[in-house]
Amino acid sequence: DTAVSQTPKYLVTQMGNDKSIKCEQNLGHDTMYWYKQDSKKFLKIMFSYNNKELIINETVPNRFSPKSPDKAHLNLHINSLELGDSAVYFCASSQFPRDSNYGYTFGSGTRLTVV
């Protein structure tokens, strides 16, 4: 009974394609996030939604677009994929933005490889 689940776990695709990664949490949390972990192991925030409202929108190419149909779901759509988009993408959730008592609950990641 996974708390934060991401699909797919692995994604291999060609340059120029459009792809989506889905994330769902069953914890009843109000806030969800997308993080990217690159080849140097940096975990960087990309987006965050609180109750379907965008509250963090870091400087990422506008080929990346998050969508939150409800507070339990946060999907990431990527247009015109490039080689440099290859990374592990983590979804996370928390009860409150910046929850310091319980931190974030992370999904297990989606490894995206662009060839």
Partner 1 sequence: DQQVKQNSPSLSVQEGRISILNCDYTNSMFDYFLWYKKYPAEGPTFLISISSIKDKNEDGRFTVFLNKSAKHLSLHIVPSQPGDSAVYFCAASPSGTYKYIFGTGTRLKVLA
What is the contact surface with partner 1 in residues (CB under 8 A)?
Answer: 4, 31, 35, 40-45, 48, 50, 55-56, 58, 90, 92, 97-98, 100-109
Q: Which is nearer to partner 1, 17 or 58 (CB)?
A: 58
Q: To the nearest whole angstrom, how small is the minimum distance from the Cβ of residue 83 to partner 1?
A: 22
Single out the residue of 108, 43, 41, 31 nearest to residue 72, CA to CA: 31
Q: Which is nearer to partner 1, 15 or 55 (CB)?
A: 55
Q: Which is nearer to partner 1, 48 or 68 (CB)?
A: 48
Q: To the nearest whole angstrom, how small is the minimum distance from the Cβ of residue 93 to partner 1?
A: 11
DSSP code of 96? S
What phi and psi values does residue 19 have, to the nearest 5 degrees?
A: -140, 160
Outline where DSSP puts E strands in 38-109.
43-50, 53-57, 64-70, 73-78, 87-94, 105-106
Q: To the nearest whole angstrom, how small is the minimum distance from the Cβ of residue 106 to partner 1?
A: 3
Q: Bridge partners of 12?
A: 113
Q: To the nearest whole angstrom, how small is the minimum distance from the Cβ of residue 107 to partner 1?
A: 5
State the pairing for strand pair 10-13/110-114: parallel
